[in-house]
Amino acid sequence: MVLEADLDAERVTMLEIFEECQMNVLSHPRLLLRLKNLYSKSRFGHFCDEFFELCRYSLVSSDRTPYRERTIDFITKFALFCGKSDNDEPVDTLNNRLLLRLFVFCMRYNECPNPAVRFRCVQIIHKLLEGIGENGVIPDELYQGLQDILLRRVQDVKSVVRVQAIQALSRMQDPTTTDCPAVESFIWLSRHDPTTEVRRAALAAMVLTTKTLPSLIERCRDVSDTVRRTAYKILTDRNVLRPLSIAKRIRILQDGLSDRSAEVRLAAQELVLAWFRSSDSNPIKLLHRLDTEGVPETSQLLLDTLFTTLPEPDFNAMVRTWATNYLSEQRTIKPEMLTPDAAFFWRALAEYLNKRRQNQPKQNPHSTNDVIADEESETDTGAVSPELIIPSASSYVDMTKRLVDQLVQMVLAEEFDEKAMEQECIVEHVLRLALSLDLSDEFGRRRLVTLIHEWITSPVVPSTLSTHLLKVHTLLEPNLRKRVNNVIEMISELCDPVEPQATINSASEAPPSKTQAESGSQQKDTRPVELQPTLSKDVERDIRLKIAKLEVQLNEVNESLHECVRRKEFERAMGLRDQCAQLESERSALLGQLHGENIKPPHQTTRNTDTSEHIQPKMGHASEATVRSTNNLAKNAIQLSGDDMLAAGNSNRKRQKDQTSQK
């Protein structure tokens, strides 16, 4: 009777403890001491019967209510607390009988048909493994049994069970083993599980190795925003850069920084900062780990993100350090430091600083005195300005001329190797830097205008630079009409098929008339020879301009003709063909006038075959580089002029509309 009374008292006391532990987590330490005193006074078998009987009530529901979660936490805390001595020093888990008994209890019910029971059993196993720590020891049979159970539960039909099993199994993976079942399971789940939370948990549980890294990179393109964000977070936290190839780095940055989800883009920005700090806060070293020449879009996206994400003190320190190491006293890159990455960063930084200065007055409009005060305060605070890195126009012209001369020497020497490609890339970015220059220096501006004209009309300058040269020409000549005329003159100089004829050195005699032949006159015709009149320079210039305009129109009509043929619009194509023939005849007539030959107007059907025979051999002397440069120059000029004319037309229409409204 006394024994039964003691058991009833223990049962009541334990029941009170379990009821109170649900109310507040702060009471758990006091309740743990109280339950441990009861555990020390009771027989182990009787205590386990009552303890696990109360534990069963917490297994029947998978609702994540605070009361049930506090009860589960209390159960696992007490199982771990029993293995500690009075001085709170951890002991060997092999001697903790209640802990081992709780593991066996969860293993017994993990196959229960009720998914709530399976979920709670796996949850308790997870919490126990977390509480044991890295130095915990459990028997081999128990370890193998737990691993087998968790491997089955990661394939459970319920996603919540799979998530808990993944978290518990993460403590049992061995990355040093090539065929670790836990790692294989994580890789499969991260790729093929239909539930977002399961894929995310599998990614978070994996230890990064050469085997698991490809799976992590694949999840950067997962259909779920949460999984993609988790993948970028893992790359950031573990600072994964060196193990990645250049192609993978580019793909990760391009996908993350242009993702449709704002959270994923934010995670990618944090990854950029982590990679920047791992590169010793050196932007050139970071760009060197990408392919700036092959994929400049990704490098530009990286720098834009870096400039806007870095804190202002770090950004100022980075710019000043780079300027000290890479720029000379004239604020041009030192020859020994000039690389495609350095030129790319120089151009991107100059564009960003100019853009930031232009946007500043729009955000904070001030008077002139206020702007001066803002500049002084900017200097006092240590903020960088474009003048720190942008050279003067004269210094820029000297550097650019030297670089273009080096490139031309490589082209003439037919050195089409890696160095020539790097030199062309450097020249391209240096030319784009001209859009950020201060062209108030009239002397430097004139020198730049002359050099740009020479480079555009030079057949040895690579045609790939024509786009950037024309953009600089657009900056130097803002007037649309003058700019179009200048471009037409350049095209005329490039595609001139013949050289102007010199004065005739000798004149042939005129053939005798029929009357003289019949009369048998043997006297020589002493009439003066009629020389072809030499055209003045103004007339010759006008004719060449007309020829260049006709050639531009011919290119446009030919492109439209090919497009109509592709679309099978044959009626329109016939009209374009006639138009093309008319333009060609007008061009031939102008060429005849240029060389003093009497070619009939285009509306007459008679053709002068002598002129065509005379022109055709001359056309063969044009080099392939000249023809290619002409085509690229004409195409880029048409595109730039068309954009400018469209903008001018919109401006005129807006002005007319305003005038009408005022009237």
Q: Are 106 and 124 in contact (CB under 8 A)?
A: yes
Tokens (6 digits) for 494: 């490039």
Task: Report the predicted TM-score, pTM, of the whole model to 2 decimal places.
Answer: 0.72
Is the pLDDT assigned to residue 2 strictly greater than 50?
Answer: no
User: Model confidence over 476-508: pLDDT tens digits?
Assistant: 888 888 888 888 888 877 776 444 333 333 333
Distance of alpha carbon 16 from alpha carbon 12, whole angstroms? 6
Are residues 443 and 484 both part of a single domain? yes
**Dihedral (Cα; 507, 513, 519, 522), 10-degree rounding:** 10
pLDDT of residue 89: 56
Are residues 295 and 328 both part of a single domain? no
Residue in the block written with tokens 């400039």: 307
Asked if residue 518 belongs to a domain, the reply is: no
Which residue among 271, 288, 310 closes a domain? Answer: 310
Are residues 286 and 204 both part of a single domain? yes
Helices (H) and strands (E) in the chain, counts: 29, 0
CA end-to-end distance (rounded Å), the chain: 113
- CA distances to 116, 250, 358, 434, 634 from 476, in Å: 75, 36, 20, 10, 19
Tokens (6 digits) for 124: 């308790």
DSSP 148-179: HHHHHHTT-SSHHHHHHHHHHHGGG--TTSTT
pLDDT of residue 259: 95
CA 315 to chain centre: 20
Are residues 187 and 228 both part of a single domain? yes
Asked if residue 517 belongs to a domain, the reply is: no
Are residues 267 and 226 both part of a single domain? yes
pLDDT of residue 606: 38
Least confident of 314-318, 359-363, 377-381, 468-472: 377-381
The range of the structural domain enclosing residue 296 comes to: 183-310
Assign 385 a pLDDT band (cuts: 50, 70, 90): confident
CATH code of the domain containing 31: 1.25.40
* Residue 305: strand, helix, or coil: helix
Q: Are 69 and 49 in contact (CB under 8 A)?
A: no
Is the pLDDT assigned to residue 106 strictly greater than 60?
Answer: yes
CB atoms within 10 A of CB 76: 21
Which residue among 126, 149, 172 closes a domain? Answer: 172
Are residues 253 and 272 both part of a single domain? yes
pLDDT of residue 367: 45
Least confident of 158-162, 209-213, 304-308, 553-557: 553-557
Alpha helix positions (H), 91-224: 97-108, 115-132, 140-153, 159-169, 181-192, 196-205, 213-218
Assign 601 a pLDDT band (cuts: 50, 70, 90): very low
Asked if residue 506 belongs to a domain, the reply is: no
Distance of alpha carbon 278 from alpha carbon 473, whole angstroms? 41
More confident residue, 22 or 610: 22
Instruction: Single out the residue of 603, 602, 587 nearest to residue 553, CA to CA.
Output: 587
Q: What is the mean pLDDT of residues 303-329?
A: 94
> According to the per-residue pLDDT averaged within each range, which of 209-218, 358-367, 554-563, 584-593 is highest?
209-218
Asked if residue 378 belongs to a domain, the reply is: no
Instruction: Single out the residue of 199, 71, 78, 60 nearest to residue 119, CA to CA.
Output: 60
Are residues 4 and 152 both part of a single domain? yes
> Under 8 Å CB-to-CB from 40, ≥6 apart: which residues?
none
Least confident of 72-81, 251-260, 435-444: 435-444
Asked if residue 528 belongs to a domain, the reply is: no
pLDDT of residue 521: 40
Alpha helix positions (H), 382-512: 393-412, 418-433, 442-457, 466-476, 480-494
Is the pLDDT assigned to residue 212 strictly greater than 80?
Answer: yes
pLDDT of residue 559: 83
Strand partners, 333: 327
Percent of residues, the chain, with pLDDT higher than 70 = 77
pLDDT of residue 366: 45
Distance of alpha carbon 552 from alpha carbon 559, whole angstroms? 11
Q: Angle at Cα 652 formed by Cα 651 and Cα 655, nearest 5°? A: 85
Instruction: Single out the residue of 324, 340, 327, 283 nearest to residue 306, CA to CA.
Output: 283
Instruction: Single out the residue of 194, 195, 262, 206 nearest to residue 231, CA to CA.
Output: 206
Assign 152 a pLDDT band (cuts: 50, 70, 90): very high
CB atoms within 10 A of CB 13: 16
Instruction: Single out the residue of 466, 342, 447, 463 nearest to residue 400, CA to CA.
Output: 447
Is the pLDDT assigned to residue 302 strictly greater than 90?
Answer: yes
Q: Are 287 and 345 in contact (CB under 8 A)?
A: yes
Burial 597-633 (b: 16+ CB within 10 A, else e): bebeebeeeeeeeebeebbeeeeeebeeebeebbbbb
Are residues 147 and 187 both part of a single domain? no
Task: Indicate the number of domains in the chain.
Answer: 4
Are residues 318 and 302 both part of a single domain? no
Are residues 448 and 566 both part of a single domain? no
Is the pLDDT assigned to residue 634 strictly greater than 60?
Answer: no
Asked if residue 559 belongs to a domain, the reply is: yes
Is the pLDDT assigned to residue 170 strictly greater than 70?
Answer: yes
More confident residue, 514 or 51: 51
Is the pLDDT assigned to residue 626 strictly greater than 70?
Answer: no
Q: Are 298 and 250 in contact (CB under 8 A)?
A: yes
Is the pLDDT assigned to residue 224 strictly greater than 60?
Answer: yes
Mean pLDDT of the chain: 80
Half-sphere exposure of 88 (CA within 13 A, CB side): 3
pLDDT of residue 494: 74
Distance of alpha carbon 399 from alpha carbon 449, whole angstroms? 15
Is the pLDDT assigned to residue 530 strictly greater than 60?
Answer: no
Are residues 198 and 316 both part of a single domain? no
CATH code of the domain containing 247: 1.25.10.10
Q: Angle at Cα 499 formed by Cα 494 and Cα 500, nearest 5°? A: 125
Which residue among 310, 343, 372 closes a domain? Answer: 310
CA 142 to chain centre: 51
In eight-state DSSP terms, residue 336 is G
Asked if residue 331 belongs to a domain, the reply is: yes
Distance of alpha carbon 290 from alpha carbon 274, whole angstroms? 15
Q: What is the mean pLDDT of residues 111-122?
A: 93
Least confident of 117-121, 361-365, 613-617: 613-617
Asked if residue 645 belongs to a domain, the reply is: yes
> Under 8 Å CB-to-CB from 246, ≥6 apart: which residues?
289, 290, 291
pLDDT of residue 633: 57
pLDDT of residue 599: 42
**Dihedral (Cα; 568, 569, 574, 578), 10-degree rounding:** -110
Is the pLDDT assigned to residue 161 strictly greater than 90?
Answer: yes
Q: Which amino acid is at 139?
A: P
* Residue 605: strand, helix, or coil: coil
> Under 8 Å CB-to-CB from 580, ≥6 apart: which residues?
554, 557, 558, 561
pLDDT of residue 3: 52
Is the pLDDT assigned to residue 527 strictly greater than 60?
Answer: no
Are residues 22 and 71 both part of a single domain? yes
Is the pLDDT assigned to residue 153 strictly greater than 90?
Answer: yes
User: Model confidence over 8-48: pLDDT tens digits?
Assistant: 777 888 899 999 999 989 999 999 999 999 998 888 888 99
